[in-house]
Amino acid sequence: MGIVECSPAILETAGKTLDAEGPVYMVNMVRYRDHADYRGKSEFPPCSGREAYFQRYAPAFNNVARGEDYGLFWVGNVRGVLVGAEGENWDDIVIVQYSSFAALRRILESSAYEAEAAPHRRAALADWRFIVTTQPNPPK
């Protein structure tokens, strides 16, 4: 069974060090279900996990996140994993930039996100990694 949740405790812990920093880039490594699984609780017609993610989750997320400073940075199809855990395969990588980690938290912790967007993410994804990154100042 894959991981498709980001717990409030994890957001709280990360927020203690990241809320005061500037922009964050959230790396989403996603593996889709063959068929979106709403656990019998959906008025939506059947579709693939990828369709549920891009045609349902993404628009719902954009609606919930209206007013926050964020944007899609990059989307790519994974064509192979050259170095990684055995059996860990990904379909796409989606990177979203937020003005701050606090902005991301406001979205994810909102009741609107839980009601409108999260059900589509859960239905769409078989597995997920959600990695917070910042741009470093590399030594010269």
Q: Model confidence over 52-74: pLDDT tens digits?
A: 999 999 999 999 999 999 999 99
The answer to the question of residue 8 being in a domain is no
The number of distinct structural domains making up the chain is 1
Residue-range definition of the domain harbouring residue 48: 21-133
Give the integer Cα–Cα distance in Å for 65 and 69: 8
Residue 1's pLDDT is what? Answer: 58
Sheet holding 24-32, edge to edge: 70-77, 92-98, 24-32, 125-133
The answer to the question of residue 122 being in a domain is yes
The answer to the question of residue 1 being in a domain is no
The answer to the question of residue 50 being in a domain is yes
pLDDT digits (tens, 9 = 90+) for 1-52: 577 788 888 888 888 888 667 899 999 999 999 999 999 887 889 999 999 9
The answer to the question of residue 10 being in a domain is no
Residue 19's pLDDT is what? Answer: 63
Residue 138's pLDDT is what? Answer: 76
The answer to the question of residue 14 being in a domain is no
pLDDT digits (tens, 9 = 90+) for 73-119: 999 999 998 898 888 899 999 999 999 999 999 999 999 999 999 99
The answer to the question of residue 46 being in a domain is yes
The answer to the question of residue 116 being in a domain is yes
Question: CATH number, domain at 40?
Answer: 3.30.70.100
Whether 56 and 124 have beta carbons less than 8 Å apart is answered as yes
